Structure formats: C-alpha cells, structure tokens
Amino acid sequence: MPQIRPMDRLIEIMATLRSPDGGCPWDVEQTFATIAPHTIEEAYEVADAIEQNDMDALKDELGDLLFQSVFHAQMARELGAFDFDDVVNGVVEKMIRRHPHVFGEQSILSADQQIAAWETIKAAERAEKSAGEHTADSSALSGVIGGLPALTRAEKLQKRAARVGFDWPDALPVLDKLREETAELQTEIDTNGSAGRLADELGDLLFVCVNLGRKLGIDAETALRGANTKFEKRFRHMETALRDQGHHLQDLDLDSLEAGWQEAKKDLASKVANSE
C-alpha cells in the first residue's frame, strides 16, 4: 500500500477539521477574516525563531505557518474558488516567470541586476492585472498593500518612489530632514499642539527615520525589533539587580532607576566583552 505523503496527509487533516460532519466546531466556524490575524501572528513567530537562532522552534513555526496556508486553501476549496494545488501551481509558475535567467535564456550577471529585473517583471504583472480588472491605478506606488506593518510599508513606498527618481542621493540630506522634522515636533510640544498635530509630526519623524535606514542599507522594522530586544534585556537585568538589593522598582525615584539602568548596561556590555 503506497505511503501517503505528509503534505497530502496535512490537507486531509484540514479537510476533516473543517467537515460539518464530525469536524472541530471551532475550525468549522472560521472564515478568511477570522483566520487572517492568526496567519500574521504565525509569520511573526517564524521571524522570532529566526532572530533567536532556534532551529527547533523554526521547524515548528514553519509548520504552523504552512498550516495557515492549508487552512485558507481549504476554505477556498469549499467555496469552489481554488484549492491547495492551485496555490502551489501558481507560485511555481510565478517563480519560473520571475527567474528567466535561471529557467530561461536570459543572462543576469549580478544580484543588483536581478533585483532590477525582478521589479520590472513585477511591474509588468501589476500592469497586466490592472488591465484585466479594468482599473486605472497606474501610480508608481500601486500594489503596496495597506495591511503591512507601518515601518515596512513606509520603506516599500519609499523604494517605489525612488524608482522614478523621487529620492535623496545619500544619507546626509536625510539627516538634515530628520533634524527639520525633530524641530517641527519640538515646536508642537512647546506650543501645546493638539494630539492630532503631535501625531502628524511624530509620523513624519518616523517616516524620515525609515528613509535614513533605507539609505544606510538598514531595514527599519528589523532595527526596531533589535532595539526592543535590547531594551527588554537591559530592563529585565535592571529589575533583577534592584530586587536582589531589596528594592521595589515602583518605590524608587527616576534618578535611582536611571542609575540602575546605567549599571545594567555596563554589566551586560561587560558580559558580552568577556564572551568574545
């Protein structure tokens, strides 16, 4: 008896879970909209496993993310829209189409040339799709979806604008713009600006920070994740040290907390230096 492939088994399990006759009540009542947040969460858990360099966790999280794709495909199959094989065939065709230098006769010599060719192919695909849908959106920013994390979407918008020449030549003028936006935010703070004005100026400042990262070759989302991790590590170290000294954080004034923070930074830096 031929052995069932793991992928086929997973698709079969998903169909069983969704079956109105004996399936899981929770799975049966789900929709694309209710599952979408779980899909996003699983993608972030994959990123976290990579950041932690945890291969066991990465294997598990990739499985969870794959299951999300199977879940969506099963719901689409029930509607008669498409099934998992259609999803796989679609991405296979797309990868072949977008890599003519690998699967065709086109010759590309460098990674930069490949990126340029990739974007040209994607732009042609978007134009063809828009024509098929009778849409009139020919903007250079067309196709940058609104559901992305804000920092990631900002970088994609900036890259699209840069393709048509709307970009700074290097990082130095972006630094000038950063100072300008900081000053404008300071003015709103000094004049008791409304919450709306403050949010507007802070948004401008963050947008320029993303642009600075882009010009330096640094992904803003990744940089902020790193800063979050660093803050958490230092704060937890400070908490532990102060508790070991018999202190409760909520009972300490800001100067004492700052002193504890600086000590935590020194301790952690020393541990890193000793490990190298």
Query: CA 160 to CA 157: how far, in whole Å?
Result: 5
Residue 200 in domain: yes
Confidence of residue 135 (pLDDT cuts 50, 70, 90): low
What is the structure's pLDDT at 54? Answer: 96
What is the structure's pLDDT at 136? Answer: 58
Instruction: Kindly tell me the burial class for residue 201, based on how many C-beta atoms sit within 10 Å of its own C-beta (0-12, 13-18, 19 or more).
Output: buried
| Same domain for 173 and 93 | no
The CATH code of the domain that includes 42 is 1.10.287.1080
Transcribe 95-145 into DSSP letters: HHHH-HHHHSS----SHHHHHHHHHHHHHHHHHHHHHHTT-----TTTT--
Residue 246 in domain: yes
Query: CA 65 to CA 60: how far, in whole Å?
Result: 9
- Tell me the pLDDT tens digit for each residue of 145-192: 888 889 999 999 999 999 889 999 999 999 999 999 999 999 999 999
Could you tell me if 32 and 75 are in contact, meaning their C-beta atoms sit under 8 angstroms apart? Answer: yes
- Tell me the pLDDT tens digit for each residue of 137-153: 678 888 888 888 899 99
CB atoms within 10 A of CB 71: 19
Q: Where are the alpha helices (DSSP H) in 133-219?
A: 150-163, 171-190, 195-215
Q: What is the mean pLDDT of residues 226-230?
A: 92
Q: Is the pLDDT of residue 111 over 90?
A: no
Name the domain count of the chain. Answer: 3
Q: What is the mean pLDDT of residues 92-113?
A: 81
128, two tokens: 């063809």
Q: Is the pLDDT of residue 131 over 70?
A: no
| Same domain for 167 and 85 | no
Q: What is the mean pLDDT of residues 239-267?
A: 94
Instruction: Kindly tell me the burial class for residue 174, based on how many C-beta atoms sit within 10 Å of its own C-beta (0-12, 13-18, 19 or more).
Output: buried
199, two tokens: 């949010």
| Same domain for 11 and 94 | yes
| Same domain for 79 and 35 | yes
Query: CA 84 to CA 86: how far, in whole Å?
Result: 5
Q: Is the pLDDT of residue 262 over 60?
A: yes
Query: CA 99 to CA 63: how far, in whole Å?
Result: 27
| Same domain for 47 and 83 | yes
Q: What is the mean pLDDT of residues 107-134?
A: 68
60/136: higher pLDDT: 60
Instruction: Kindly tell me the burial class for residue 38, based on how many C-beta atoms sit within 10 Å of its own C-beta (0-12, 13-18, 19 or more).
Output: middle
- Tell me the pLDDT tens digit for each residue of 1-38: 568 899 999 999 999 999 999 999 999 999 999 999 99
Q: Is the pLDDT of residue 42 over 70?
A: yes
Residue 60 in domain: yes
Q: What is the mean pLDDT of residues 44-68?
A: 95
Residue after which a domain boundary falls, among 201, 218, 235: 218
Angle between helices 171-190 and 195-215 (to 10 degrees): 170
Confidence of residue 63 (pLDDT cuts 50, 70, 90): very high
Residue 73 in domain: yes
| Same domain for 31 and 15 | yes
Confidence of residue 133 (pLDDT cuts 50, 70, 90): low
Q: What is the mean pLDDT of the chain?
A: 90
pTM for the model stands at 0.68
Q: What is the mean pLDDT of residues 104-128?
A: 71
Range of the domain at 271: 222-275
What is the structure's pLDDT at 132? Answer: 57
233, two tokens: 């590590």
Q: Which residues contact 32 (CB under 8 A, 6 or more apart)?
A: 72, 75
Could you tell me if 17 and 71 are in contact, meaning their C-beta atoms sit under 8 angstroms apart? Answer: no
Confidence of residue 103 (pLDDT cuts 50, 70, 90): confident
- Tell me the pLDDT tens digit for each residue of 90-100: 999 999 988 88
| Same domain for 239 and 190 | no
The dihedrals phi and psi of 265, each to the nearest 5 degrees, come to -60, -45
First to last CA, the chain: 56
